[in-house]
A = this chain, B = another copy of it.
Amino acid sequence: MNKKMQWLRNQMLSLNLQGIIISNPVNIRYLTNIQAEGVLLVTRKENIFLTDGRYIEDVHNTLTLFDEIVVYDVRGLTRDDYENFFMFCENVGFEENYVTYAKYKEYMHKYKINSLVETENMIEKQRQIKDEEELESIKKACQITDECYAYILNFIKPGMTEKQIAREIDDYFYKNAEGTSFDTIVASGENSSKPHAIPSDRKIQNVDIITIDMGCRINGYCSDMTRTFFVGEVPSHVKPIYELVLKNQEQVLRDLRENSNTKQITKMVDNDFRLHNYDLVHALGHGVGLDIHEAPVLGINSENILKENMVITNEPGIYIAGQFGVRIEDTVLITKGGCETLTKSPKKYVIIK
């Protein structure tokens, strides 16, 4: 059995769970490497993956004997089979934050489970701490993101549309990685005032502001980086805001380390923004891994204590509705005494022609 499945079995033991149903495909991939629709059952004696005809061949190709996972096609299962999986199990865990209310009821009936127990994001919490192999993938994804940024700064010319630029970034990530880790944002001029802008047909002007938020995947693991930069010149009314955002982004990097309190750090940025009559309208950051957004959240309303080998983003932003916005974001690895910025693209004023 691999280390992660072994960890899961130990967890179950300590929580007095005799069985568990894993439904979240990202958790299934994390634990087993399987990328297929289906459900992972950990029973008293066996690890079982239930899937259907479309995926059987692929799943068999992914697994080795060492994995100790039995694969069943649901089409061959009887009502008795389902009821036998968790027979004599007192408590069976399930993912209450992934499983729908309807599915929860179905599990109760199908598997005849007496006590279906909430597992409180147990696997998501474990996923926060990355091992060597996971870190290697994330670092590689961040490096490719930096290279893409250098490439795209050369590529952009006034007259191009946001869509064209976004497409070029996507192409770059498709060729050099496993594609994007989320929908690329290219927001120029007044569009940059929308934190989650969708690339439009707006053309880049001779004097312009551009925010690009992008990331790619390596072995399923994500990178995430945002830069705001300029065409022609930096308008004087933008400078105080750019510098306020950058100052806070860099201060956060000095404060991040094992045992940092995410609520306090976010509060610090929020306070400084308010002092200047601006708002921090979104979270300061989030965990990054197999999901582009995962635990922990760095926000005003969520208190988390950071641990060594967590990977998070640090992305303060200020948005002036209808005018412009500035966001600067890095992917960051938490270490014992500080942090390591994994995306290394320049953050001082970048001005292209």
* Chain B, residue nearest A281 (CB): B53
Given A100-B97, A100-B101, A101-B100, residue A54 in contact with residue B174 (CB < 8 A): no
Cβ-defined contact, B52 with A282, below 8 A:
yes
The answer to whether the Cβ of A25 comes within 8 Å of any Cβ in the partner chain is no
Q: Mark A164-206, 1 if CB is under 8 A from B, else 0.
A: 0001000100100000000000000000011111000000000
The answer to whether the Cβ of A58 comes within 8 Å of any Cβ in the partner chain is yes
Cβ-defined contact, A281 with B52, below 8 A:
yes
The answer to whether the Cβ of A321 comes within 8 Å of any Cβ in the partner chain is yes
Q: What residues on B are CB-neighbors of A282 within 8 Å?
A: 52-54
Interface centre among A36, A58, A100, A101 (most CB of B within 10 A): A101
Q: What residues on B are CB-neighbors of A194 within 8 Å?
A: 54, 57-58
* Chain B, residue nearest A35 (CB): B198
CA distance A53 to B195 in the complex (A): 9
CA distance A266 to B55 in the complex (A): 20
Instruction: Give A residues with C-beta under 8 Å from B.
Output: 36, 52-55, 57-58, 75, 94, 96-105, 118, 167, 171, 174, 193-197, 279, 281-282, 321-322
Q: Lowest 10 A-B CB distances belong to which pairs?
A: A53-B281, A54-B195, A96-B102, A96-B101, A101-B104, A97-B102, A54-B196, A54-B282, A101-B101, A57-B321
